[in-house]
Amino acid sequence: MTLDKTKVVYQIYPKSYKDTTGNGVGDLQGIIEKLPYLQDLGVDVIWLNPFYPSPQRDNGYDVSDYTAVNPLFGTMADFEALVHAGKAYGIELMLDMVLNHCSTEHEWFQKALAGDKFYQDFFILRDQPTDWVSKFGGSAWAPFGDTGKYYLHLFDKTQADLNWRNPHVREELFKVVNFWRDKGVKGFRFDVINLIGKDEELKDNPNFDGKPEYTDKPINHDYLKMLNKETFGRDQDSMTVGEMSFTDIPNCVQYSNPNSHELDMVFNFHHLKVDYDNGQKWTRKTFDFEELKTLFHTWGEGMSQGDGWSALFWNNHDQPRALNRFVDIKNFRNEGATMLAASIHLSRGTPYIYMGEEIGMIDPDYTSMSDYVDVESLNAYQEMLDKGKSPEEAFKIIQAKSRDNSRTPMQWDNTANAGFSTAKPWLKVGRSYQQINVASEKQGKIFPFYQKLIQLRKEMPLIAEGTYKAALSDSTKVYAFERKWQDQKLLVLNNFFAETVELDLPAAYQRGTVLISNYEEDALIDKILLKPYQTIAILAKV
């Protein structure tokens, strides 16, 4: 069970990758069709967002059957074919395990509602709700039928939190993971897994701006050790990642240090809140570079020193496209996309690429509220109106922040529906598809740059295994870090601005060699001029 640190993960939102049946929804066969493309890119693992039976209230994160395939995406035979075909292309699968909550349409919840005491103890039922709020707005408690009790739902009210304190619940959930292991699955991504360990006695949480009361509880670590021991820990070559909501470095070191026997790595989201005004998502603000740099440095060094391991990412299905947030895309889309890529692919951790990122996809630029479908966006819009924002203002915020921004269909070519489907897609294609699509970008600047970064990680233990140290910490424009491994070291400079920046190159690197850059190579002298969004990695001897 040693993590292979040369691997790179590619995330696919199955609904939006490739539709082969003509129903406007992507499917498992569509992913099989694109395996040669993924092999060409060079990725090793694909993480699939949930494709299980679900009422799709939260796009599959409301699971009503954990061990089946939603007919929308195909059949179990299609899934088995995907595992098989993947192995032939050297690509393993990573499945999304939503074990904190299940859909209220799941038979466990239905039996509980019907009065079955055994299943009632699968959920978190209380006579008196706490003041907790749902991540999707409103109270986190809803009436449990007409019993007078309330059930906890940290997300939508159709996503009921499971009671991990009940050994029967744990046993059932471990069975779910083992079901997929038996199908040949080696990788697992665990949804909001630092929220599973709730206290027996739930306390109010009046200060809801900070870390919620129920996050990173000590018992959470115990549950992860059990999960490891009873499921994926039995495979030599498993790969696991936990999605950690509102977490901190000490907990993440513990979750991911190999001696803890919990998980291989962790996602945290702090760096994607640097454009939140006052920590609030439904606001608009230019990103704060100081905050971003400091977060990367403290996390990079903290995880390196504690022998923890991070999943590194700019994009996923819950985030607007990073290009829209951090880059002047009108003038520097290619430079910005390649710089963002290098800033994580050359860093310490496992890089994740979200579908379309490798061709520099951007937000869809929708013009009407009726184009949005995500439950979180729809609730947030209503809440903003209720609190007195004008529809124009509220719409602008949705445009910038909606999760639908990254969920739009993959842009394969410039034909109808971007080559994603022959039918009207479930979610409208982005307006940029005529210019930004796989067919044209494969000869462009971004896709080949990703290929090169992935290749470098495979060739150089310095990149895959080296330590991380902050560099040029005072720079107000450049995020820089240093990697070290045996007798090699690497300095990575990333200019986060649309302007040229001059800086002093540390002496040790003045006679170094350029490993990779997104501009023509520069001669290395004591002063270096970084062009807009330039990234450059300089290799030297220790």
Give me the residues that bind ligand TEU (CB under 6 A), please: 58, 61, 98, 135, 155, 191-192, 243, 245, 269, 281, 317-318, 376, 403
Single out the catalytic residue among 19, 156, 191, 441: 191
Find out whether 426 and 27 touch, Cβ atoms under 8 Å.
Answer: no
Q: Report the residue number, 93 or 462, with the smaller CB distance to ligand TEU.
A: 93
3-state helix, strand, coil in the chain (%, to 5): 35, 20, 45
Edge-to-edge, what's the strand order for the sheet holding 150-152? 125-126, 150-152, 141-143
User: What's phi and psi for 42, nearest 5 deg?
Assistant: 110, 10
Q: How far is the CB of 400 from ligand TEU (least distance, A)?
A: 12
CA distance 11 to 170: 27
Q: How far is the CB of 50 from ligand TEU (least distance, A)?
A: 8
Q: What is the largest CA-CA distance in the chain?
A: 75
Tell me if residue 191 is catalytic.
yes
CA distances to 16, 75, 323, 406, 435 from 364, rounded to whole Å, are 13, 30, 12, 8, 13
Q: Token pair for residue 430?
A: 């982005």
Tell me if residue 522 is catalytic.
no
Q: Report the residue number, 52 or 497, with the smaller CB distance to ligand TEU.
A: 52
Residues written for the chain: 542
Find out whether 321 and 315 touch, Cβ atoms under 8 Å.
Answer: yes
Q: Token pair for residue 508?
A: 């040790």
Q: How far is the CB of 243 from ligand TEU (least distance, A)?
A: 6
**Ramachandran region, residue 33 (left: φ > 0; alpha: ψ -120 to 50; beta: rest):** alpha
Dihedral over alpha carbons 241, 243, 248, 252 (to 10 degrees)? -20
Q: How far is the CB of 67 from ligand TEU (least distance, A)?
A: 18
Q: How far is the CB of 14 from ligand TEU (least distance, A)?
A: 13
E strand residue ranges, 140-209 = 141-143, 150-152, 159-161, 187-190
Q: How far is the CB of 329 from ligand TEU (least distance, A)?
A: 21
Q: Report the residue number, 60 or 512, with the smaller CB distance to ligand TEU.
A: 60
Q: How far is the CB of 401 from ligand TEU (least distance, A)?
A: 8
Q: How far is the CB of 171 from ligand TEU (least distance, A)?
A: 22
Q: How far is the CB of 56 from ligand TEU (least distance, A)?
A: 12
Q: Token pair for residue 350?
A: 């496992």
Q: Report the residue number, 270 or 445, with the smaller CB distance to ligand TEU.
A: 270
Dihedral over alpha carbons 71, 75, 80, 86 (to 10 degrees)? -50
Show Cβ contacts of residue 392 under 8 Å, excluding neighbours closer than 6 positions. Answer: none
Q: Report the residue number, 135 or 445, with the smaller CB distance to ligand TEU.
A: 135
Q: Token pair for residue 298?
A: 């403290």
Q: Report the residue number, 297 or 403, with the smaller CB distance to ligand TEU.
A: 403
Helix (H, G, I), strand (E, B), or coil: what is residue 167?
helix
Helix (H), strand (E) at residue 341: helix 329-345
Q: Report the residue number, 162 or 491, with the smaller CB distance to ligand TEU.
A: 162
In this structure, the number of other CB atoms found within 10 A of the CB of residue 79 comes to 23
Pairing outcome for strands 350-354 and 9-12: parallel
Single out the catalytic residue among 19, 58, 243, 404: 243
Q: Report the residue number, 196 or 463, with the smaller CB distance to ligand TEU.
A: 196
Q: Token pair for residue 44?
A: 């090793």
Residues 432, 437, 441, 447, CA torsion sign: positive
Q: Report the residue number, 162 or 462, with the smaller CB distance to ligand TEU.
A: 162
User: What's phi and psi for 229, nearest 5 deg?
Assistant: -65, -40
Catalytic residues: 191, 243
